[in-house]
């Protein structure tokens, strides 16, 4: 639980903190701000997965935890149902703490965001971003290529910042946390609910693709995101 909370918190700190820094360094160039924000997030996420994956599987994302539980239910591998709620709680609490930490570092007071993002196009972007994320993670898990998941997930999220209209939140915990910063990375409270629904739909679609393309059960997300030592497998 600590690894999931710290990992999600640091991920949000990376997203929000780099967004604030980008605004200050490039105040008149939104494209450059997005480049700075996306590159930092991609690199930071990959590092966090490598560092904390052996402890918790480095989900840092409620939809990843839910899908991991679903695909591994009835087996001795993956996330047990008793751990689903604690994982989700740890991720949300950690994410909110990450927003507060980023604001404190940059002397930016925490405040509810005023950035409305819930357009039809942005919601479709969240469906696509989340479905793609689930497909990447679990396709690598089921094909025995878990060792490259950190780089692949970081690369995918960095790319999805640019090819999705929503800039790829793809994470309910991060979405909730970003509600508490009225900066470049923020999302208005009214947009959070629609984003969460879009992410859930995207996760379901991504899971469907995984089950069709890789129907044979294999290693769990915990092993896929960052292979655990042999003694823990």
Counting as low any pLDDT under 70, the low residues of the chain are 217-233
- Number of structural domains in the chain: 1
Q: Is the dihedral of CA 133, 137, 138, 140 positive or negative?
A: positive
- The answer to the question of residue 174 being in a domain is yes
Q: Is 154 a domain residue?
A: yes
Return the residue matching tokens 């094909």: 143
Residue 128 tokens, joined: 């696509």
Residue 227 maps to a domain: no
Residues 6+ apart with CB under 8 A from 100: 110, 180
> 106 in a domain, yes or no?
yes
- Rounded Cα distance, 35 and 86, in Å: 34
Whether residue 22 is contained in a domain is answered as yes
Residue 197 has what pLDDT? 98
Residue 47 has what pLDDT?
98
Which residues span the domain enclosing 37? 2-221
Dihedrals phi, psi of 101, to nearest 5 degrees: -60, -45
- What pLDDT was estimated at residue 76? 77
Residue 230 lies in a domain: no
Give the pLDDT score at 221: 44
Of 179, 157, 122, give the one whose Cα is nearest residue 37.
157
CATH of the domain at 206: 1.20.1080.10
Query: Do the domain assignments include residue 231?
Result: no
Asked if 118 and 33 touch (Cβ cutoff 8 Å), the reply is: no
Is 205 among the domain residues? yes
């Amino acid at each position: 639980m600590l690894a999931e909370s710290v990992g999600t918190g640091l991920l949000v700190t990376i997203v929000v903190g780099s967004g604030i820094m980008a605004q200050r360094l490039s105040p008149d160039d939104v494209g450059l701000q997005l480049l700075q924000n996306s590159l930092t997030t991609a690199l930071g996420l990959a590092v966090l997965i490598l560092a904390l994956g052996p402890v918790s599987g480095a989900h840092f994302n409620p939809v990843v935890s839910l899908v991991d539980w679903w695909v591994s239910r009835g087996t001795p591998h993956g996330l047990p149902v008793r751990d689903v709620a604690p994982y989700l709680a740890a991720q949300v609490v950690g994410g909110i703490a990450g927003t507060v930490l980023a604001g404190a570092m940059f002397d930016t007071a925490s405040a509810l965001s005023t950035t409305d993002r819930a357009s039809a196009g942005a919601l479709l972007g969240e469906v696509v971003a989340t479905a793609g994320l689930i497909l990447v993670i679990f396709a690598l898990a089921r094909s025995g290529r878990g060792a490259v998941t950190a780089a692949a997930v970081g690369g995918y999220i960095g790319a999805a910042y640019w090819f999705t209209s929503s800039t790829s939140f793809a994470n309910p915990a991060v979405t909730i946390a970003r509600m508490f910063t009225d900066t470049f990375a923020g999302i208005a409270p009214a947009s959070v609910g629609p984003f969460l629904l879009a992410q859930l739909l995207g996760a379901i679609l991504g899971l469907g693709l995984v089950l069709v393309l890789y129907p044979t059960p294999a290693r769990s997300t915990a092993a896929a995101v960052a292979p655990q030592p042999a003694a823990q497998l």
